[in-house]
Amino acid sequence: MATKDEVGRAIERLMARLDGNQDNVRSAIPGRKVMGCLVTDIDASWYSVIEDGKVSPPTEAPPPGEQVAVLLKLRSDDLIDLVEERTTFMSAFLSGKVRVDASLSDLLRMRALF
């Protein structure tokens, strides 16, 4: 099990990677969406706002008054594996290591990001 600090650094790397790929993010997630990540084995969450292809740095609380449109739920070690590209999002999703609470259209768009 990864520590909260390790997971926090991994989330920061993931969001920075997405932010560096603005064209892909802009086409995958039009408009403004709040994306969250619940790391179940350490009971911690991080949130980022995706808007116009830009991804905000992660915070431990969602933006006030906004609904989380996409919530990833996974264990710390699985998150580290995703960020370090030892597994793919689709593989982790299909094997049940990553659960996603989102609309079907947002779920399909997520495939393009990971």
State pLDDT tens for residues 93-106: 999 999 999 998 88
Within-domain flag for 114 = no
Within-domain flag for 10 = yes
Within-domain flag for 31 = yes
pLDDT at residue 49, as a whole number = 94
Domain count, the chain: 1
Within-domain flag for 87 = yes
pLDDT at residue 23, as a whole number = 79
Q: Which two tokens stand for residue 60?
A: 């431990």
pLDDT at residue 89, as a whole number = 87
Distance between CA atoms of 17 and 52, rounded to whole angstroms? 15
pLDDT at residue 28, as a whole number = 79
First to last CA, the chain: 22
**Tell me, what amino acid is at 8?**
G
pLDDT at residue 25, as a whole number = 80
Question: Which residue stretches of the chain have pLDDT < 50?
Answer: none
Within-domain flag for 54 = yes
Question: Measured between alpha carbons, how far is residue 38 from residues 25, 35, 61, 70 in Å?
Answer: 21, 10, 11, 11
Within-domain flag for 30 = yes
pLDDT at residue 107, as a whole number = 81
pLDDT at residue 114, as a whole number = 67
Q: Which domain holds residue 85?
A: 4-109
Within-domain flag for 75 = yes
pLDDT at residue 87, as a whole number = 93
Query: The domain that contains 104 carries what CATH number?
Result: 3.30.1050.10
